[in-house]
Structure 1
Amino acid sequence: MPPTHASTGTGTGTGTGLSPQPRPEPDGADTEDTLDMRLPDELIALLAGEQPLLVDPPQDTTTDGDLLDGVAGWDTATTPAGVLRLVPVRIERDLPLITRWMNDPAVAAFWELAGPAAVTAAHLRTQLDGDGRSVPCLGVLDGAPMSYFELYRADLDPLARHYPARLHDTGIHLLIGGVADRGRGLGTTLLRAVADLVLDHRPSCSRVIAEPDLRNTPSVSAFMTAGFRFCAELDLPDKRAALMIRDRALRHLL
């Protein structure tokens, strides 16, 4: 965002602008009106180099080092398919399940994490040992883990070099684990629910972002049906992607 310029107005108090101050006339002097134009204290300090002309640009004011506003404590979402909860991943508990999903050929074609558990573990640890800008979660529907999500700060991600990012843009990656859960509109339901959770629990976030592979037509279609709009094609280092955005201002219209 552009910086805000320091400004002065006009008024009658010191420091609010150029303030005309009457100058006492010596005895016998003419009584014509004479004004002493006094510079406000703030402007004097500015010219003396004691304060900057421009304020600092907006900064991320998230406290406690939590860049995604406490995903672990977010509410559940009631959907047509059941009650969904996002549960942050624990490697010692969830690695076998996520590894199995990553080795499904339909998933591996786009996630490229097929192989032994060590491959998936390294991918998860990169997020879990980081600064919190990406949080891997299980999507638990009616008590059963059936999907994998990554919520991430798109404005702090390398993705931000490829589109006009805004502060607190939040991204979503989704993997539906079971073959039986695919191809019946469940992806759309989950994406809409999680996007709503982001907007409900991250008041500073005005947009939810996604960048599915353009070749993954079912995924692109699911995002669009879930209220995301197609904005652009992006040439990313590992794929050509569709930039999908769900705007807070349009969430009840799309």
Structure 2
Amino acid sequence: MSSTDARTDAGATPAIAPADAVTDEVADTGPGADELTGSEPGVGTDVADTLDLRLPDELIDLIAGQGETGGQASGSVGQGTGAVLPGYGHPVDGTRPHAPCGTSTALADDDLLDNVGAWGPVTTRSGVFQLVPVRIERDLALISRWMNDPAVAAFWELEGPESVTENHLRPQLDGDGRSVPCLGVLDGTPMSYWEIYRADLDPLARHYPARPHDTGVHLLIGGVANRGRGLGTGLLKAVADLALDHRPPCARVVAEPDLRNTPSVSAFLSAGFRFSAEVELPDKRAALMIRDRALRALL
């Protein structure tokens, strides 16, 4: 599945998925509506197709230098104070974590996404939430199990042995940092999978008028017990706010759930995204959802 098939479609109840599917959706409209089960990540096996763009090392170094000296934009999401979630956390006091085993040094050192690993934790209505960059040796079995949930597999198409999921994760972890796979950890427990990616450097940019530093989001909620509880809208809003707070150059957070996935589209709307357009992607007709920095206080 190409990265343009955002994994945000998964949680709706399209013709091929169960009513309580977990995907990019999550409306707070009642049981079964709040699931995020999938939509394609910004990279995956198509990582070589990200606009065939390779940033010069000099430019990456320049961006990294600016990111280290620049301050954080103010925002509505509360910042952590250097706390670490048990077993899954990273310092969030502005320092950069060391590159974990299984990730490239590029992921730790570049600034294409302004150090996602140091964005949280933040307090949401559902508890303390944090995006934790994936480590293959720690997280592969869990993510693979989620990918084999039929509701998730219908959209992510990564069912099968763990090697299938690993082959999806590796290009992101070993790439230049334009897509960062993360676990969503709520009150210390991993319960969702996210991909934060540079939409302007992704094949998706061929299908909509992308702007520099557009930040894309793909996600799925992993456990059935966490679906239908109204988690999706709150977490989508929290992650979008984190991106806007920690990425000053980013003016928009974008997503592309399957247009058939009404609960997913509804969840994005409830999280402050606006419906921008219908977009014809290689494997689906998508709803282009956008959360604008300029409108975040109004939506």
Question: When the two structures are superposed, what TM-score results if normalisation uses the length of structure 1?
Answer: 0.75
In structure 2, what is the Cα distance between the partners aligned to 1:134 and 1:239? 21
Q: How does 1:171-250 map to 2 (within 5 A)?
A: 171-250=216-295
8 Å CA contact 1:208, 1:246 repeated in 2 = yes
CA displacement at 1:213 relative to structure 2: 1.3
Read off the aligned partner of 2:286 and give its amino acid letter: A
Query: Which residue of structure 1 lines up, in the alignment, with residue 204 of structure 2?
Result: 159
Work out whether 1:83 is the aligned partner of 2:123: no
Contact 2:213-2:251 within 8 A present in 1 as well: yes
Indicate which of 146, 161, 175 corresponds to 2:191.
146
2:151 is matched with which residue? 106
Task: State the AA in 2 paired with 1:153.
Answer: R
> 1:136: which partner in 2?
181
Distance 2:285 2:250 in 1: 25
Task: Give the unaligned 5+ runs of structure 2.
Answer: 1-58, 65-108
Contact 2:121-2:131 at 8 Å conserved across structures: yes
Distance, in Å, in 1 between the alignment partners of 2:133 and 2:285 is 29
Q: Report Cα offsets for 1:37-59 as digits up to 9, x if no partner.
A: xxxxxxxxxxxxxxxxxxxxxx8
**Which residue number in structure 1 is paired with residue 68 of structure 2?**
none
The total of aligned residue pairs comes to 196
- The C-alpha deviation readout for 1:74-127, integer Å capped at 9, x for no partner, is 121210000001100001100000000001111111111111111100000111
Runs of 5+ consecutive residues of structure 1 not aligned to the other structure: 1-58
2:298 — aligned with what? 253
Match of 1:48 in 2: none
Is 1:62–2:107 an aligned residue pair? no
The residue that corresponds to 2:171 in the other structure is 126
CA RMSD of aligned residues (A): 1.3
Instruction: Give 1 or 2 for the bigger CA radius of gyration.
Output: 1
1:93 aligns with 2:138: yes
Tell me the distance in 2 between the aligned counterparts of 1:75 and 1:115: 32
Identical residues among aligned pairs (%): 79
Q: As a proportion of its length, which structure holds more strand?
A: 1
The amino acid across from 1:95 in the alignment is L
**Moved runs in structure 1, 4+ residues, more than 4 A?**
none
Amino acid at match of 1:177: G
Does the 8 A contact of 1:69 with 1:202 survive in 2? Answer: yes
- After superposition, what is the alpha-carbon deviation per residue over 1:147-167, rounded to whole angstroms, capped at 9, x for unaligned? 000000000001001000000
Structure 2 CA distance, aligned partners of 1:94 and 1:110? 20
